[in-house]
Amino acid sequence: MEALWVYVSEQSQSMSTSAWTLLMLGVLLSLSIVVDTISRRTALPRISLLVLVGVAFALIQQGLLGGNAEPLNGLREPLINLALVMVAFLLGGELTLSRLKSTGPLIFALSAAVVIGSLAMVFTGLWLLDYSFAVALSLAAISVATDPAAVSEAIQESGKKSLAARVTLGIVAIDDAWGIIVFGLSMALLSWLGATSGGASLVHALWELGGALLLGTALGFPAAWLTGQLKPGRPTQAEALALMLLIAGLSSYLNVSALLAAMVAGFVIVNVSSHHTRSFSEIEQIEWPFLVFFFVLAGASLNLAYLSTALGLVAAYIVLRSIGRYLGGYLGVLAMRRREPRLNTDIGLALLPQAGVAMGMALLAAERFPQQGQLIVATVVTSTIIFELFGPLLVKRVMADTGKNDTY
């Protein structure tokens, strides 16, 4: 037995980096199956459980082993970027012209009110609490994003088909699009303010946004044409994955916003191609394994050295974002009261869940501003777990408060 233990130890020490990476990929996907089972039996959100798996890795790695190595070595950044590109692409696919016309001024006005409420409340509050401009603006931009999956699942479980349910689903369909745009503008502004050469930085900021629009359009139109020429199945799947890799790679190479480029490409395809559902359905089929890696890596990005420092910021962020969402929804409903008197003023509380896009923004902000990055990541990862645990409960409460005769 002792000889066997010595042999195993020697083999583990001599394990190559590629073998270790492949092993970790298999372990993480296996854990996702366990997490899915636990989620179904306990009603706990899968996303929060996956993030907790990453946090557990960080605790073991940093607390017990005393190191700070990444679980997937050099694959961390490309996997995160690819997962975010997929999410943004699918979000762009939700923005059909017919849907934008049908939602009308009601959903647009309420979503804008909630976005402005979150942005203003979080930024002003953190700024008054003496946090740096970069931290306050980054977290304010991140606060705009919502978790569409958690909100829609909670509404489905509530069984409500009211106006409030329809409006809430309409808001979350475009909420992350607002978040991506606001986050891109915020990062460009911070880059411009932090640069020594204002003119060159302004050009870079404009290119980061404008270049993303150009890249998304340039890739979206050929992809829309190609989608109609390919038969459903493996060719379409290869085309969809190739598009995601091209967006992620070219965005990084050209230094433009990958999230915005992917969203624009999705918007172009869904509104130009008559067979647009093929590409989006193929991405949905292969998206989950990448999201598993993304959420675990997001949790593993938590630096325990910053956790105690971030607790005050976490509490402030949760309170300010909650107040901002509530006030934004309250004022938005009041402004639209004459048009639609059936909406409850607490609809903003149904928009608290926050997950993938928010954590992706935090990781991107950490790469852009490493001095403040760990504090931002610690704040968003911790608050995301709380929002994902309690947010769906508030969604159900808001839906339950809706009148029984409030159908739409």
CA dist 94 and 72 (Å) reads 32
What's the whole-number average pLDDT of the chain? 76
Residues in the chain, how many? 408
- What Rg, from alpha-carbon coordinates, does the chain have? 22
In the Cβ-directed half-sphere of 363, how many Cα atoms lie within 13 Å?
25
Mean pLDDT comparison of 41-55, 235-249, 320-334, highest-scoring range: 320-334
For residue 343, count CB atoms less than 10 angstroms from its CB and return exposed for 0-12, middle for 13-18, buried for 19 or more: buried
For residue 198, count CB atoms less than 10 angstroms from its CB and return exposed for 0-12, middle for 13-18, buried for 19 or more: exposed
CA dist 322 and 143 (Å) reads 9
So what's the pLDDT on residue 17?
Answer: 66
Band of residue 121 on the pLDDT scale cut at 50, 70, 90: very high
Choose between 168 and 401: higher pLDDT.
168
Among the residue ranges 119-123, 259-263, 353-357, the one predicted with the least confidence is 353-357
pLDDT tens profile 62-108? 766 555 556 666 677 787 778 878 877 877 776 777 766 765 677 78
The yes-or-no verdict on residue 50 having pLDDT over 70 is yes
Choose between 213 and 372: higher pLDDT.
213
Band of residue 144 on the pLDDT scale cut at 50, 70, 90: confident
The yes-or-no verdict on residue 278 having pLDDT over 80 is no
Per-residue pLDDT averaged across 124-132, rounded?
A: 89
The share of the chain scoring above pLDDT 70, in percent, equals 75
Determine how many CB atoms are found less than 10 A away from the CB of residue 217: 14
So what's the pLDDT on residue 195?
Answer: 56
Structure tokens at 172: 């979350």
Choose between 276 and 113: higher pLDDT.
113
- Which of 121, 79, 180 lies closest to 325, judged by CA? 121
Per-residue pLDDT averaged across 217-225, rounded?
A: 86
Per-residue pLDDT averaged across 382-397, rounded?
A: 78
Domains of the chain: 77-401 (1.20.1530.20)
Helices first, then strands: H and E counts in the chain: 15, 0
CA dist 180 and 267 (Å) reads 14
So what's the pLDDT on residue 123?
Answer: 92
The share of the chain scoring above pLDDT 90, in percent, equals 5
CA dist 319 and 99 (Å) reads 33
So what's the pLDDT on residue 196?
Answer: 45
Band of residue 275 on the pLDDT scale cut at 50, 70, 90: low
Band of residue 320 on the pLDDT scale cut at 50, 70, 90: very high
pTM above 0.75? no
So what's the pLDDT on residue 405?
Answer: 42
Band of residue 375 on the pLDDT scale cut at 50, 70, 90: confident
The yes-or-no verdict on residue 8 having pLDDT over 70 is no
Among the residue ranges 8-22, 81-95, 302-316, the one predicted with the least confidence is 8-22
Per-residue pLDDT averaged across 211-240, rounded?
A: 76
